[in-house]
């Protein structure tokens, strides 16, 4: 009987929860659906514990959801069959030496991008400059020429079952100790980086012709909310038509349910961004800011792909609001909101079509498994 494949994933947390979130989802799926022996070596257990509350951030070694979680300072020195450097997180020198003795399939899992050039770089080799090792570039993406997106086997079925039950979202909120919004309210989740443009958005929402209920999870954007309010967001706050509801930081599976239940999701980075697409709801993405506005090129590439097949009016409304939000232009966000709100019914239909088209493609974990199998000797 063959022993199960051993996979090691190295994660360096830069974007607080995004890097840890992607790596934790991937590790869990490789263990649960592919039967691999998975170790996640990570340099920030505290961030991971926010996403996986059963994790003890002080423990030197622990097994959770079939994954062995290892602090980076206690990284193993025996190389696995497959080694993933997530987002360029380097393996320690002692581990690298072990890889020379028994060369693994060594994969550099890159950040997600919709840019066309990634398709030409996907699965390209990169020989080590001084050691007899080869690393392979693996690019998540939105086309069949890329590595795909993280998607658990039951994700779409679970989403459909949740969204088909009228009281499911109210029941979920009640389980979190939260009062459900009015039935006629526009339900929004707000997750992002600090953004001065939030003042304009809150002003527009407070003057809305319909009630707006906005869930604000713990995170960096809450500071912008509190700055706009001029006081802590420790309890429910009302501003005209707007209800701001502070909610605790949610475990990954619960955060999915929040996205499934809302009519619009503001998200950031990579992990919540991908989960918002699987929610099949309209979204506004706050992309991770980079020097010299390089992130705006990546944003434009995604928006071009995301809005394919959508009528010009709702597409223009979505593109304009994304641009103003990511440029932190509060007055422009306020002015653009009514047009965007009018486009939400068409954007909702389009979001379902887009999610289904992505679901027709192989998922990231499966593609990684097939690639590794093709390289293992």
CA-CA-CA-CA dihedral for 110, 113, 114, 118, to nearest 10: -40
Q: Is 19 a catalytic residue?
A: yes
pLDDT of residue 36: 98
Catalytic residue among 8, 19, 341, 363: 19
pLDDT average, residue stretch 73-80: 95
For residue range 198-209, list pLDDT tens digits in order. 999 999 999 999
Give me the chain's average pLDDT, please.
Answer: 95
| pLDDT over threshold 80, residue 1 | no
DSSP-H helix ranges across 250-293: 252-261, 271-278
Residues 6+ apart with CB under 8 A from 95: 75, 76, 77, 79
Q: Which H/E stretch holds residue 237?
A: strand 237-239
Catalytic residue among 8, 256, 270, 334: 270
For residue range 345-371, list pLDDT tens digits in order. 999 999 999 999 999 999 999 999 999
How would residue 219 be classed by pLDDT, with cut points 50, 70 and 90? confident
Residues 6+ apart with CB under 8 A from 225: 190, 198, 202, 216, 233, 244
For residue range 340-352, list pLDDT tens digits in order. 999 999 999 999 9
| pLDDT over threshold 70, residue 16 | no
Q: Is 304 a catalytic residue?
A: no
- List beta partners, residue 186: 212
How would residue 15 be classed by pLDDT, with cut points 50, 70 and 90? low
Cα-Cα-Cα-Cα dihedral sign, residues 28, 30, 36, 39? negative
């Amino acid at each position: 009987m063959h022993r199960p494949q051993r996979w090691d994933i190295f994660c360096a947390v830069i974007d607080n929860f995004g890097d840890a979130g992607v790596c934790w989802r991937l590790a869990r799926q490789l263990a649960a659906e592919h039967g691999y022996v998975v170790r996640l070596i990570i340099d920030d257990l505290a961030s991971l514990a926010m996403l996986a509350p059963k994790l003890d951030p002080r423990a030197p070694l622990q097994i959770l959801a079939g994954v062995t979680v290892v602090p980076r300072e206690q990284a193993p020195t025996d190389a696995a069959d497959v080694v993933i450097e997530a987002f360029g997180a380097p393996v320690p020198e002692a581990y690298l030496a072990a890889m020379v003795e028994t060369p693994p399939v060594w994969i550099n899992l890159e950040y997600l991008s919709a840019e066309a050039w990634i398709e030409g770089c996907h699965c390209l080799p990169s020989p080590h400059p001084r050691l007899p090792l080869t690393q392979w570039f693996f690019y998540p993406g939105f086309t069949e020429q890329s590595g795909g997106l993280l998607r658990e086997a039951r994700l779409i079925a679970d989403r459909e079952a949740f969204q088909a039950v009228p009281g499911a979202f109210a029941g979920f909120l009640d389980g979190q100790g939260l009062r459900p919004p009015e039935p006629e309210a526009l339900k929004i989740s707000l997750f992002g980086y600090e953004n001065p443009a939030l003042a304009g958005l809150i002003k527009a929402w407070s003057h809305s012709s319909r009630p707006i209920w906005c869930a604000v999870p713990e995170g960096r954007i809450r500071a912008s909310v509190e700055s706009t309010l001029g006081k802590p967001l420790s309890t429910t706050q009302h501003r005209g038509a707007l209800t701001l509801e502070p909610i605790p930081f949610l475990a990954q599976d619960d955060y999915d349910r929040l996205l499934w239940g809302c009519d619009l999701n503001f998200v950031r980075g990579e992990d919540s961004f991908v989960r918002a697409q699987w929610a099949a709801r309209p979204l506004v993405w706050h992309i991770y800011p980079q020097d010299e506005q390089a992130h705006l090129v990546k944003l434009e590439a995604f928006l071009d792909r995301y809005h394919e097949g959508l009528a010009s009016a709702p597409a223009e409304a979505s593109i304009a609001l994304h641009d103003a939000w990511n440029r932190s232009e509060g007055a422009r966000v306020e002015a653009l909101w009514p047009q965007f709100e009018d486009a939400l019914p068409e954007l909702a239909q389009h979001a379902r079509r887009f999610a289904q088209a992505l679901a027709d493609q192989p998922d990231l974990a499966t593609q990684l498994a097939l690639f590794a199998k093709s390289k293992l000797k």
